[in-house]
A and B are shown apart, each in its own frame.
Chain A
């Protein structure tokens, strides 16, 4: 009888433990604390497509799958860890031969980007001796890109003030770039003699997310697609010394799934927006004129993804090029963007950067390791804003930085 009771008790304990499985799992991470998740309003089918894209984004490419033969990284997620900004160990190096107004990206010598890694039995690239300009770029966060992609060009043009007519010292302008061969203009795009407004990239050199995906697949991972069928090679070994994997190495669907994933990643969430210091910090942000470039609010146009149509979002960027002064001049022009011009980077997600990129590494190459340091590097058009920040009291500076951390 005693044994029977023990057995029943043991079974009951076991069943109780199994039934309470959920309680034994780690606490869910708050949605507002992570750079992951989808935009609100997706259908179940779109959620599923997002997950397919998520898997493509995390895919590790191997030699057998076409990695390289020279490459920077073997997957998207290795640079954009947790969908966030990159890490100084993962910066890309671009180079060119610049001679006055003449810019040669040294395509025949492996340009415009250095691939410092290679598959087995191959040779990694070296910087060609002809190059006289080098720039390092850290990966950007990829959250909320769908909203930016769904903007009408007119919304971006609305903030253009290339001759500083309003005399606020800020003169943002767009970067008109030649579209890729596979670019299909939509109603949101405005042509300027066959060129289009770049809205992605550190110098706004890419018109669409697809442009960026195709470029990164090839230049970062060495993966060819239907949109760019020619593999990378080390020019020192000779043309056509590729990886011997038939091209394209990924399908149109694969590229599109990556694009869909990035279009449907939610915008970085705000935290502590009601906090008194954050509210005060935001007022200071406006008062000292940071908002001249870091424009808080935009509204999307109609989109083929209903959840992206007519949505108001808060990127804190005008997506325009600005002269940022000599300290940030990398001597590397792109399209019509001069070497001292940079696209205003969106500030959303800044507060989550430190816990998604293994530390705080700000600006295009990660050289700034604190918010104060990053602001102090603002010069050129932004010199007056930097001076205004420096003039704030310590308490006010802390409030402004707390506001930035809430983004």
Chain B
């Protein structure tokens, strides 16, 4: 059924596309005062005729040739993501947006976002439904065509669980003054489940704890998870965001009977982005997680984790290439590190490993602002828990991502 639905959407688009006057493209707002918190609405949309609904989406696919310690399974072609957005302005101050994502073909189909915004005041908007938890920047601003890298940042996806959305309600707002804007978000949502520690990843993992199929029906812990973010942007300097997320993840009470201690999962993130000399874009995020893990397995699974990434994108050429009038060629470089288990072995007082350090140089070609072709070379060093000599993984990735 879902395939038919998708085909229908695609077929409809194909038919409508024949009449270009009938379809209006609403481009992304690229003004300097757009913040990460605006990312979900600040996407290119297509409006069909006089329909109140705007649609959009993106897809990304790539090929890669990777190997670890000299052993490779050869080439793989990957269809990573196909995402559809639907938005509607219900009235002047009521908006609706939804996002459906197909990952790895149809292996995972997620309703990633479906929320209504009700504006009471620019500083006071109500939002409810399935909302994107505003932890870090990547979780809010993760569309493939915006990034010069094929892989998503490890820190954002494996320390924090991007992309993370949950059902809940909250507030957000934004205020402008001079060259600055200040935004806040505060949501109460359902949270994680016990898979944070009971998972096949063999480590504490917020990402594993978000897969609970019932998370849109009930909170596993019976308590809300809180996510809050405050971000400040200066038109000439850049943006910095501070965010936190905390909640009880385990089922500590059953049928009114307390069966376990309340176990908390807490996350804190600092994100920033800036443009140096009007050219070089620097974008990064530092993520920290602490989880109350049962004491017996805390040493192996990890109570505290941290990670960060820094992306630098340097335009090399802007202008007409192959008759693409506003094409761009960028050089890019990512440096990232994640440590899944901060601490020391009590038995030996030696450091606990389980970490990855990676560098990703690359080149991207943007025939238009909405489409990117990417060539990345990834090299990473991974230590096991015991800090034995690092295994080395590297390889080439080539792919594209585009809004439509």
CB-based contact B198/A62 at 8 Å: yes
CB-based contact A118/B296 at 8 Å: yes
How far is B375's CA from A25's CA once the two chains are assembled, in angstroms?
16
Question: A25, A62, A124 — which one has the most chain B CB atoms within 10 A of its CB?
Answer: A25
Which residue of chain B has the shortest Cβ distance to A366 in the bound complex? B347
CB-based contact B388/A82 at 8 Å: yes
Question: A26, A27, A121 — which one has the most chain B CB atoms within 10 A of its CB?
Answer: A26
**B278 part of interface (Cβ distance < 8 Å):** no
Question: Which residues 287-308 of B have a CB within 8 angstroms of A?
Answer: 294, 296-297, 299-300
Q: A residues within 8 A CB of B385?
A: 81, 358
Q: A residues within 8 A CB of B104?
A: none
Of B297, B300, B350, B394, the residue contacting A25 (CB under 8 A) is B394
Q: A residues within 8 A CB of B70?
A: 25-29
CB-based contact B202/A75 at 8 Å: yes
Query: Could you give, for residues 11-45 of chain A, a 1 whenever the CB lies within 8 Å of some chain B CB and a 0 otherwise?
Result: 00010011001101111110000000000000000
A218 to chain B, nearest CB (A): 18
Which of B61-69, B179-187, B225-233, B268-276 lines the interface with chain A? B61-69
Contact status of A356 and B322, CB under 8 A, knowing A25-B394, A25-B395, A121-B260? no
The secondary structure that dominates the A interface is: loop
CB-based contact B259/A121 at 8 Å: yes
**A152 part of interface (Cβ distance < 8 Å):** no
Q: B residues within 8 A CB of A356?
A: 388
Query: Could you give, for residues 157-178 of chain B, a 1 whenever the CB lies within 8 Å of some chain A CB and a 0 otherwise?
Result: 0000000000000000000000
How far is B249's CA from A120's CA once the two chains are assembled, in angstroms?
12
Which residue of chain A has the shortest Cβ distance to B390 in the bound complex? A26
CB-based contact B69/A29 at 8 Å: yes
Of B65, B201, B297, the residue contacting A117 (CB under 8 A) is B297
Contact status of A21 and B395, CB under 8 A, knowing A26-B70, A89-B348? yes
B164 to chain A, nearest CB (A): 21
CB-based contact B347/A89 at 8 Å: yes
Which residue of chain B has the shortest Cβ distance to A26 in the bound complex? B392
A247 to chain B, nearest CB (A): 19
CB-based contact A358/B322 at 8 Å: no
**B345 part of interface (Cβ distance < 8 Å):** yes
**B396 part of interface (Cβ distance < 8 Å):** yes
How far is B393's CA from A81's CA once the two chains are assembled, in angstroms?
19
Contact status of A26 and B393, CB under 8 A, knowing A14-B375, A17-B375, A75-B202? yes
How far is B301's CA from A288's CA once the two chains are assembled, in angstroms?
45
A222 to chain B, nearest CB (A): 13
B390 to chain A, nearest CB (A): 10
How far is B202's CA from A228's CA once the two chains are assembled, in angstroms?
25
Of A28, A60, A124, the residue contacting B296 (CB under 8 A) is A124
Query: Could you give, for residues 199-215 of chain B, a 1 whenever the CB lies within 8 Å of some chain A CB and a 0 otherwise?
Result: 11110000000000000
Contact status of A3 and B322, CB under 8 A, knowing A24-B396, A26-B393, A355-B389? yes
Which residue of chain A has the shortest Cβ distance to B384 in the bound complex? A81
**A359 part of interface (Cβ distance < 8 Å):** yes
Q: B residues within 8 A CB of A124?
A: 294, 296
Query: Could you give, for residues 306-350 of chain A, a 1 whenever the CB lies within 8 Å of some chain B CB and a 0 otherwise?
Result: 000000000000000000000000000000000000000000000
**B387 part of interface (Cβ distance < 8 Å):** yes
Q: A residues within 8 A CB of B294?
A: 117-118, 120, 124
CB-based contact B396/A359 at 8 Å: no
How far is B294's CA from A118's CA once the two chains are assembled, in angstroms?
9
Contact status of A28 and B69, CB under 8 A, knowing A21-B395, A88-B347, A117-B297? yes
A208 to chain B, nearest CB (A): 28
Of B197, B297, B388, the residue contacting A81 (CB under 8 A) is B388
A354 to chain B, nearest CB (A): 9
CB-based contact A26/B388 at 8 Å: no
Q: B residues within 8 A CB of A49?
A: none
**B402 part of interface (Cβ distance < 8 Å):** no
**A119 part of interface (Cβ distance < 8 Å):** yes
How far is B63's CA from A18's CA once the two chains are assembled, in angstroms?
10
CB-based contact B69/A60 at 8 Å: no
CB-based contact B396/A17 at 8 Å: yes
**B95 part of interface (Cβ distance < 8 Å):** no
**A7 part of interface (Cβ distance < 8 Å):** yes
CB-based contact A62/B199 at 8 Å: yes
Q: B residues within 8 A CB of A28?
A: 69-71
Which residue of chain B has the shortest Cβ distance to A27 in the bound complex? B70
**A162 part of interface (Cβ distance < 8 Å):** no
**A87 part of interface (Cβ distance < 8 Å):** yes
**A256 part of interface (Cβ distance < 8 Å):** no
**A116 part of interface (Cβ distance < 8 Å):** yes
How far is B294's CA from A119's CA once the two chains are assembled, in angstroms?
9
**A303 part of interface (Cβ distance < 8 Å):** no
CB-based contact B296/A87 at 8 Å: no
Q: A residues within 8 A CB of B403?
A: none
**B194 part of interface (Cβ distance < 8 Å):** yes
Which residue of chain A has the shortest Cβ distance to B66 in the bound complex? A25
**A78 part of interface (Cβ distance < 8 Å):** yes
Q: B residues within 8 A CB of A87?
A: 345, 347-348, 386
B378 to chain A, nearest CB (A): 10
CB-based contact A120/B202 at 8 Å: no
Question: Which residues 41-75 of A have a CB within 8 angstroms of B?
Answer: 60, 62-63, 67, 73-75
CB-based contact B202/A26 at 8 Å: no
CB-based contact B322/A120 at 8 Å: no
CB-based contact B395/A359 at 8 Å: no
Contact status of A60 and B72, CB under 8 A, knowing A89-B348, A118-B296, A121-B260? no
15 extra A-B contacts, CB within 8 A, seeds A3-B321, A25-B67: A7-B322, A22-B72, A24-B394, A26-B393, A29-B70, A62-B198, A63-B194, A116-B296, A120-B197, A121-B251, A121-B254, A356-B388, A358-B387, A358-B388, A359-B386
Which residues of A pack against B, CB within 8 Å?
A: 3, 7, 14, 17-18, 21-22, 24-29, 60, 62-63, 67, 73-75, 78, 81-82, 87-89, 91, 116-121, 124, 355-359, 361
Closest 9 pairs (CB-CB, A-B): A358-B386, A28-B70, A26-B392, A25-B67, A88-B347, A21-B65, A117-B296, A60-B200, A60-B202
Which residues of B pack against A, CB within 8 Å?
A: 65-72, 194-195, 197-202, 250-251, 254, 259-260, 294, 296-297, 299-300, 321-322, 345-348, 350, 353, 375, 377, 379, 384-389, 392-396, 398
A-B contact pairs, 9 of them (CB 8 A): A18-B65, A25-B70, A27-B70, A82-B384, A87-B345, A89-B346, A91-B347, A120-B260, A358-B387
